[in-house]
Amino acid sequence: MNPRAVEVVVWKELLDLWRDKKTLFAAILLPVVSMPLIGLTVLLLSTQQPVNVAVVDRDDSTYSDPALNVTVSSEWLVGNLTRALEAAGCHVHAYTSEPGNLTVYDLVVVIPRGFSHNATSLTQQARVEIIRKASVQPALNAENTVLSTLSQFSRNLSEVKVRQLALMSGLSPGSFSVNSVLQPVVAGPVLVITPSGAPASPLEQIKPFLAKVLILGLIFVVSPASMYVVDGIVGERERKTIELLLATPLSVSEVITGKLIAASILGLVSSLSDVASLMVYMYLIALSVGGFFWLVIDLKLVLLHAVTAFFTILVTVAIATPFVTRTQGVRSASNIATVVNMIGMALFFSGFMIDYPKIEPSILYPLMAIPYTHSILVIQDYVYGMVYYSMLHLAVLVAVSLLLLYVGVKSVSPEKILLAR
Amino acid sequence: MAVAVRVEHLRKAFGRVVAVEDVTLEVYEGEVFGLIGPNGAGKTTTLRMIAGLVKPDSGRVAVMGLDPFKEPGEVKRVLGYLPEEADVYTRLTGLEHLKFYASIYGGDVDETVRYGAAVSGLGGDLYKKAGEYSKGMKRRLLLSLVLMRRPKIAILDEPTSGLDVYSSIKVRDLIKAFARENRSTIILSSHNMLEVEYVCDRVAFINKGRVVEVGSPSDLKSRYGASNLEEVFVKATGG
């Protein structure tokens, strides 16, 4: 195979591709535009779905325990709950008796009669009832806000009670700690370390998640690349441009290899734009739920992902090539490419959820027969700090993709391309 | 005269359909040779076998003494082939087509492109995307892609198929001028007998996958006592 001949084909393919705005839009710009747009839509819509909460203060009383000298007012709790829920974007309605129609509320918080009395007691527990609609997902967020507020209210009350009991028992204020009574056992400090044992920086802590996002991104690159190959071979036959090309001194191997390399370059560019847009999407989604997503870039990881993406695409199109060239039309060729893509998608989605380096060898080794397993392991082993194994899997991926490319192009002849049935 | 292309007892079947039953012919260096026959006679399959694109089930092909299936690279360097239904890359300009095909062959690419541009006669239209070309312009561009590197043998499958009268005349003149200027061997297929009579030095009639007659148009007409090649063909095939 003459590299110069392949270069000529790649030049023509890339020039043709550069002018094919629809394909470029679908492969590169569409994810860049659509993913952040989805994130932005989620962010905007999430603020437009306020949860209706009713806080029913049936107790509506203030009680002071004369022995402990502690006072609790249900009105205080209503005030705390209202502030916290409104800060979370909920619509809060306070009542002193149960409203007639409860179904209009997504969450109802009921402070029962005797709440203040029980809360100040040394023998009773005060309870707050919560009624939540199962079908309303944001109501769960509101419930968490209520539980958090109650927990803080309870903690403050406990501190007051413990101090009073200590005074009553004759302990001097400096001879005990409230925390050692309320929380005698706590976890911590929790030290997060890197695979080498050094303390992990925030970037290193987020890296495994970033790696999984990169693996997920591979899903979006194999599809446009393989469709491009379908178009490049079967489409050229249908457009009557392939026969003239096959009549030149270019060998079929050179023609197909040139097309596969161009497809892989398209996939690589698509991969980088997908990852960028996916990260913007994750950032916006995190914002919408009040969290935070570090927009961090580990250039070595991104470079490793780019190389992995290139060879993952090459392996995909190399697998599809012998079948694609033998099909009669674009539709049947696309179906074959879709089957190959589906295998990749299934594995890459699992790579987003599962840590492959932790899988039992008895399961992992058979999975390694599928080239995509190595794509996942290149990235995950790197994040696990197993750089040697990461490079080993990359070498396997490169070798397998080149071998399949060789087999793929050698199995095709001009006659098979021209006269496929 | 030296033989440029020798074909002996070629046979090719696609499943149960026999496209070429038994074709034997010789084409001499420097002549314009016509392969004439109705649709489905086996012209395209024969030309594809000469070009090394389709392998015969049996028989032999020699192009300048070379076997297209054993030495495909060498054969494709001496041979240019224009398929019947060839089309252009719609997003590439005419000039980019010339550059692409000239680059495949290497050598002095600029000189090849210059000659190709002159052969095409498309002038300033070469800077336009080929998708904007008329059918005749596309055909001239495709023809120039084959002829621009002055191949020793050019195989042109139905070069004027689907073209209007004016475009057909331009293409025919182009072929004749090229053959005269370069002393190349040209094999063209057609079912247009008038065209073949105008362009070709010798012709072969092919029918149902077999060569039924070979000769110069004037010889054939006198041999069959016919006024044109259409009559010769009807008499030769017993139609």
Mean pLDDT, rounded, of chain A: 84
pLDDT of residue A328: 66
- Cβ–Cβ below 8 Å for B91 and A16: yes
Which of the residues B75, B95, B99, B103 would you substitute to probe the A interface, choosing the one with the greatest number of A C-beta atoms within 10 Å? B103
Mean pLDDT, rounded, of chain B: 88
- Top pLDDT among A340 and A92 is at A92
Q: What is the C-alpha R_g of chain A?
A: 31
**What pTM value is reported for the model?**
0.72
The dihedrals phi and psi of B154, each to the nearest 5 degrees, come to -120, 125
Cα gap B92→B70, rounded to integer Å: 33
Cα gap B225→B33, rounded to integer Å: 22
Least confident stretch, A27-36, A56-65, A185-194? A27-36
DSSP labels, chain B: --EEEEEEEEEEEETTEEEEEEEEEEEETT-EEEEE--TTSSHHHHHHHHTTSS--SEEEEEETTB-TTTSHHHHHHHEEEE-TT----TTSBHHHHHHHHHHHH-SSHHHHHHHHHHHHT-GGGGGSBGGGS-HHHHHHHHHHHHHTT--SEEEEESTTTT--HHHHHHHHHHHHHHHHHH--EEEEEES-HHHHHHH-SEEEEEETTEEEEEE-HHHHHHHHT-SSHHHHHHHHTT-
- Cβ–Cβ below 8 Å for A247 and B81: yes
pLDDT of residue A332: 76
Residues A122-175: pLDDT tens digits? 888 999 999 998 877 888 989 999 999 999 999 999 999 998 888 888 888 778
**pLDDT band with cut points at 50, 70 and 90 for residue A113:** very high
Mean pLDDT of B83-105: 91
Q: What's the one-letter identity of residue B213? A: E
Q: What is the ipTM of this complex?
A: 0.90
pLDDT of A292 strictly over 60: no
Judge whether B103 is closer than 8 Å to chain A, CB to CB: yes
Paired with B58 in beta bridges are B11
Q: What percent of chain B has pLDDT over 70?
A: 100
Residues 28-67 of B with CB under 8 A from A: 48, 51-55
- Cβ–Cβ below 8 Å for B92 and A20: no
Q: What DSSP character marks residue A1?
A: -
pLDDT of residue A291: 54
- Work out the angle at residue B28's Cα, subtended by the Cα atoms of residues B22 and B29, and round it to the nearest 5 degrees: 140
Q: What is the C-alpha R_g of chain B?
A: 18
pLDDT of residue A420: 64
**pLDDT band with cut points at 50, 70 and 90 for residue A5:** confident
Residues 144-183 of B with CB under 8 A from A: 145-146
**CA distances in angstroms from B121 to A413, B90, B144, B193, listed in the order given:** 35, 19, 9, 26
Mean pLDDT of B56-81: 89
Mean pLDDT of A275-303: 67
Cα gap B87→B62, rounded to integer Å: 28
pLDDT of residue A108: 93
* Most confident region among A17-21, A328-332, B23-27 by mean pLDDT: B23-27
Q: Smallest Cβ distance to A241: which of B48, B52, B87?
A: B87
- Top pLDDT among A263 and B146 is at B146
Residues B42-55: pLDDT tens digits? 889 999 999 998 99
The dihedrals phi and psi of B238, each to the nearest 5 degrees, come to 70, 20
Residue recorded with tokens 């809060």? A92
